[in-house]
Amino acid sequence: MTATQPTLNEIRDFKGKYPKQLWYLFATEMWERFCFYGMRGMLAVFMVSQLGLDDKTTNLQYGAIQAFVYAFTFIGGVFADKILGFQKSLFWGALLMITGGLVIAFSPTSTFYVGTCFFIIGTGFFKPNISTMVGALYHADDSRRDAGFSLFYSGINLGALLGGILMVWVGKYHSWPLAFGLVSIVMTLSLINFYFTKKSLGPIGLSPLHPDMPKSKRRGYEIATYLGSLIAIPFILILVTNTRYTDLFMYIIGPLTLVYLGWEMRKFTAQENKRLGAALVFIFFSILFWAFFEQAGGSLSLFALNNLNHSLLGIPMDPNVVNNSSNSLFVIIFAPLVGLLWVWLSKRKLEPNSVVKFGLGFLLLGVAFYAFYATVFFADADGMTSLDIFTLGYFVITFGELCLSPIGLSLMTKLSPGSIQGLMMGMWFLASAYGQYVAGLLGAGMSSADPNATNAVKLHAYTDGYMQLGLYALVAGLVLLAISPFVRKLMRGIH
């Protein structure tokens, strides 16, 4: 290795709190999340205002696209493990996203769905694999890993915040082609950033194929993967545009991944398999967490629209702006601090283990939903209530998220054997796909059946629902704390 191509140990023996490569991956991921959350913010508005879809169809297609984006991370993870390696996967994913942006920008109303399919599959190749590379920057027992993921998580949310504001603003008020074209511009920035910094990753994320494999065979596998992902696009198109297939897809993909994981597990030792068992416990609980948390995009945004005052701490403010951006803003501010708190506690041998962190995450989620519920006590006769208390709920939920989401990413990299890190990270995000899916069902269950219901009736329907979710979250937190000794046993010394 040359001086510019560090070895794995040189990378992992870094001094200070964060390895320098973390900042490079931070920037690459920030731009990708800029596009993801920008697209997410635009989808429903675009479908209703430009494609002329009704609300119901829009909701269903929006949910399907969200679910597919996360579900394809599983496929991206597996192909990275087996053929491409994380670096090439990331490149391929970024190229697909750039293409997707161009395809839609060309003629938004006619090419929207095809471009979105490029985006779905591109994110699948990109998203899990960059997170896995973050984990590879650390020695197995390095207690700075969770702090690294917390910082990385700030990058995610910085992108989310900027993209969520800028892309929606450009699309809604200026030009839809330009807004979708921004995806291509921004992903090109992400790719350039990665290209010029990837040398610093040394061997991390290079091809998993055997070094003795003839070059032509290696190329053959890679090209087959690229072609295969392009051939998948028409099939994804059918799935996204016929949402009745979404349910079917969701029923099949989860069990399929478990069968596949079971098949892979035959290669590992009992110790490694116990750790994978622990990883599955975390993945299962994360489904529940995201199902509650993702009310943000559904029921909480309707609640913000119908029932909240337009004033935050006395300053005029649109409640939907608060609903869409306060979480990201709190994450950007507090994620590095929470990360440093873990390092500080670890030095004093006081850092809670990951199962307890997950448990805390759920307890905070529960408290946050009780805060959303508590808005009912501040309501006037018209069913309008306090944006301040609502924002307090988002403040608390952010700490819950920080105890679970970056820790979960970190755990996947700690608990998975090297050869299936991509698969496990893909499964972690697949849990988010299920979370999104269940979130929609929960939100629909909470909403008042009568479309002409008054705001006061809606207020009670939603806040009663939030109280129940708060209770379930607290129970889940207590269950996690109660089972923590067993899960820790499975984790075999991993913190």
The footprint of ligand GLN (CB under 6 A) covers 33, 156, 290, 405, 429, 432
Rounded CA-CA distance 271/102 in Å is: 47
Rounded CA-CA distance 188/75 in Å is: 23
Shortest reach from residue 278's CB to ligand GLN, in Å: 19
Nearest-CB residue to ligand GLN?
Answer: 432
Shortest reach from residue 110's CB to ligand GLN, in Å: 29
The Cβ-side half-sphere exposure at 183, using a 13 Å CA radius, reads 36
**Are 239 and 68 spatial neighbours (Cβ–Cβ below 8 Å)?**
yes
Nearer to ligand GLN, 86 or 429 (CB): 429
Shortest reach from residue 336's CB to ligand GLN, in Å: 16
Supply the DSSP string of 479-490, one letter for each residue. HHHHHHHHHHHH
Shortest reach from residue 96's CB to ligand GLN, in Å: 18
Rounded CA-CA distance 418/401 in Å is: 26
Torsion of CA 293, 295, 296, 299, to 10 degrees: -160
Nearer to ligand GLN, 73 or 447 (CB): 73
Nearer to ligand GLN, 163 or 470 (CB): 163
**Are 45 and 167 spatial neighbours (Cβ–Cβ below 8 Å)?**
no
Residue 308 has phi, psi (to 5 degrees) of: -110, 140
308 DSSP assignment: B
Shortest reach from residue 331's CB to ligand GLN, in Å: 8
Nearer to ligand GLN, 226 or 399 (CB): 399
Tokens of 381: 């006769």
Nearer to ligand GLN, 14 or 289 (CB): 289
Give the sign of the dihedral formed by CA 244, CA 246, CA 252, CA 254.
negative
Nearer to ligand GLN, 156 or 187 (CB): 156
Rounded CA-CA distance 340/156 in Å is: 18
Shortest reach from residue 470's CB to ligand GLN, in Å: 20
Which helix (H) or strand (E) segment holds residue 185: the answer is helix 176-197
Shortest reach from residue 429's CB to ligand GLN, in Å: 6
**326 closest CA partner among 152, 160, 151, 147:** 160
Nearer to ligand GLN, 18 or 429 (CB): 429
